[in-house]
Amino acid sequence: MSGGVIARPTTATPEDQVVRYTFKERAYHWINAITYTYLLLSGLALFTPYLWWMASVFGGGGTIRFWHPWVGLVYLVTILWMHSKWKRDMKSIPQDEQWNKNIKNYIENRDAAMPPQGRFNAGQKQFWWVMLYCTFILLVTGIIMWIPEKMPPGFHWVLPLIVFIHSVTALVTIAAFIIHVYMSIWMTPGSMKAMTGGQVSPAWARTHHRLWYENIRRGRNGD
Q: Is residue 78 part of a domain?
A: yes
pLDDT tens-digit profile, the chain (223 residues): 444 444 333 344 455 788 889 999 999 999 999 999 999 999 999 999 999 999 999 999 999 999 999 999 999 999 999 999 999 999 999 889 988 888 888 887 787 788 888 899 999 999 999 999 999 999 999 999 998 877 788 777 889 999 999 999 999 999 999 999 988 888 788 888 899 999 999 988 988 899 999 888 877 444 4
Q: Is residue 192 part of a domain?
A: no
Phi and psi at 18, nearest 5°, equal -115, 135
Q: Is residue 163 part of a domain?
A: yes
Q: Is residue 134 part of a domain?
A: yes
* Full domain range(s) for residue 145: 22-186
Cα–Cα distance measured from residue 31 to residue 74, given in angstroms and rounded to the nearest whole number: 8
Q: Is residue 120 part of a domain?
A: yes
**Number of domains making up the chain:** 1
Q: Is residue 4 part of a domain?
A: no
CATH code for position 86: 1.20.950.20
pTM recorded for the entire structure: 0.84
Q: Is residue 197 part of a domain?
A: no
Quickly count: other Cβ atoms within 10 Å of residue 120's Cβ.
Answer: 23
Q: Cα 72 to the chain's mean position, in Å?
A: 14
Q: Is residue 82 part of a domain?
A: yes
